Amino acid sequence: MNAEKVSCTLPGVELSNLTPSKFNPNSSVVWFHRKFQVPLCSHTYTKCEASGNSGSNSNNFQKLKLDGPIQSRGLAGKTFCSVGICTDPLSDNECHSHVEEEKVGVLLLNLGGPETLHDVQPFLYNLFADPDIIRLPRLFRFLQRPLAQLISLLRAPKSKEAYASIGGGSPLRKITDDQADALKSELEAKKFPTNVYVAMRYWHPFTEEAAQQANRITKLVVLPLYPQFSISTTGSSIRALQNIFREDKVLSRLPVAIILSWYQRYGYIKSMADLIEEELQNFNTPREVMIFFSAHGVPDTYVVDAGDPYKDQMEECIYLIMQELEARGIENKHRLAYQSRVGPVQWLKPYTDEVLVELGQEGVKSILAVPVSFVSEHIETLEEIDMEYKELALKSGVENWGRVPALGCTTSFITDLADAVIEALPSATPMSTFSANTSSQQFDRDPIGYAIKIFIGSFLAFILLLSPRMLSALRKPVV
């Protein structure tokens, strides 16, 4: 493959083999995430730049001028952007000699889910105790754990009901284990023997357990099972990893390559288009079906204040899938909406439930739902989409409903993930060490002060949570 190469060095990080998306082919600018110290797709941030680069969006990102424009390139009619990872697979010979003496590991990052109904409340506690999920101002961070305790207790009955309706637990662990096995086999078939580990953020096997297994390897590729980057998902898991790696003598020196997002990879886009094309055939009049992408939402402030690239990446992802479908002569109408909001704040709009009602009222008769932020079946596909949204759509006048399955272990998809791992390997460097002031560190320094804060925090959280608005928001349908 002959890609135009652009390379440039920042202290500790080398950017090489950058390939831009068609959105920004002549740019010589790459946006660099301060916190993760990893370069991100240049095109994702063109909007920040266009808006004068003065908004709070730019806070987390640092602009890096390259020594020449990133050249656009065509690859079977597609263009890609995989800034931060090497996008040029090495030739077979090179790959061989490069990796034979290494013991390479792949760490799959995922959310995790309760395996039994008994696990639901502690799982919810872990989720809400994550400062990347409930983002409190620094002054109120001491409220995090008491708030998590209260919110998880309040939400648990509703969540348990939902998990009960899909068989009493989340299928996420089993599916992720299957994906890990499939990826390992695929990498072996490509002559890249690796160990593949699973690191869940909020349930077993926890990130800490997985990281310990990575102790015996010489190079690690971190691959989130989220196609698009969000602070609340990939960002949170990487923060957890960085905390673990910083504390460990061996891990802190381990060369690591992090794939921040891969929604723009052609293998993924093609696999999604294949699923959609196949599922459309189940309708009597496929051309009249509305392709309805439903993405997991995040609170608005993530994007507006914290510069989360999630929304931009989601929109580009949908654009790329629709381009691929158009290239196959499929020109159906499509919509994107965001599901699974929780709590009293505003989330990304439009909301899935509201759009479904609108579509029904507008006379749309056939809808194909496409879950797009996740690659496994889970509670939000099996319960929220298949049960709640389907019922809502049918009640609103829609007559024919279908849903695209999650990618799971689809061969073309796993093959592409394997390619992403191989391409990322050359960019592995020891993880950067940024300092995070976690509450556990605070406990170590000042246990009495910490206990007082927890007590006051619990009290304030209790009052806050008893407000009628908060109560009803938390009891809203499943997330």
Ligand X SMILES: C=CC1=C(C)c2cc3[nH]c(cc4nc(cc5[nH]c(cc1n2)c(C)c5CCC(=O)O)C(CCC(=O)O)=C4C)c(C)c3C=C
Q: What single string gives the DSSP state of each residue in 456-472?
A: HHHHHHHHHHTSHHHHH
Exactly one of 108, 223, 337, 342 binds ligand X (CB under 6 A); that residue is: 342
Q: Which residues pair with 109 in a beta bridge?
A: 199, 224
Residue whose CB is less far from ligand X, 123 or 192: 123
Q: Which residues pair with 194 in a beta bridge?
A: 104
Residues binding ligand X: what is the number (CB under 6 A)? 24
Tokens 């849903």 belong to residue: 403
- For residue 453, give the H/E element and its range: helix 447-465
Q: Which token pair is 139? A: 């002054």
Eight-class DSSP state of 274 = H
Based on the shown chain and the rule CB under 6 A, indicate whether residue 404 belongs to the binding site for ligand X: no
Exactly one of 184, 219, 265, 296 binds ligand X (CB under 6 A); that residue is: 296
Exactly one of 29, 111, 414, 454 binds ligand X (CB under 6 A); that residue is: 111
Based on the shown chain and the rule CB under 6 A, indicate whether residue 294 belongs to the binding site for ligand X: no
By Cβ distance, which residue is nearest to ligand X? Answer: 113
Based on the shown chain and the rule CB under 6 A, indicate whether residue 313 belongs to the binding site for ligand X: no
Residue whose CB is less far from ligand X, 124 or 147: 124
Could you tell me how far CA 228 lies from the centroid of its own chain?
Answer: 5
Residue whose CB is less far from ligand X, 166 or 254: 166
Based on the shown chain and the rule CB under 6 A, indicate whether residue 238 belongs to the binding site for ligand X: no
**Residue 334 CA: distances (Å) to CA of 279, 331, 355, 357:** 15, 9, 12, 15
Q: What single string gives the DSSP state of each residue in 13-27?
A: EEE-S----TTSTT-
Could you tell me how far CA 39 lies from the centroid of its own chain?
Answer: 16
Minimum distance from residue 352 beta carbon to ligand X (Å): 13
Residue whose CB is less far from ligand X, 156 or 251: 156
- Half-sphere CA count of 321, side-chain side, radius 13 A: 28
Based on the shown chain and the rule CB under 6 A, indicate whether residue 337 belongs to the binding site for ligand X: no
List phi, psi (to 5°) of 228. -105, 150
Exactly one of 173, 378, 390, 453 binds ligand X (CB under 6 A); that residue is: 378
| Binding segment toward ligand X, per CB under 6 A, in 182-190, 230-238, 359-367, 403-411 | 230-238
Based on the shown chain and the rule CB under 6 A, indicate whether residue 353 belongs to the binding site for ligand X: no
Minimum distance from residue 53 beta carbon to ligand X (Å): 25
| Binding segment toward ligand X, per CB under 6 A, in 8-16, 140-148, 293-301, 397-405 | 293-301
Exactly one of 39, 105, 113, 146 binds ligand X (CB under 6 A); that residue is: 113
Q: Which token pair is 369? A: 């739902």
User: Within a 10 A sphere around the Cβ of 373, how many other Cβ atoms?
Assistant: 24
- State whether residue 165 is helix, strand or coil: helix
Could you tell me how far CA 467 lies from the centroid of its own chain?
Answer: 32
Based on the shown chain and the rule CB under 6 A, indicate whether residue 176 belongs to the binding site for ligand X: no
Residue whose CB is less far from ligand X, 19 or 170: 170
Site of interaction with ligand X (CB under 6 A): 111, 113, 124, 127, 133, 155, 159, 170, 172, 226, 230, 232-233, 296, 298-299, 342, 373-374, 378-380, 478-479
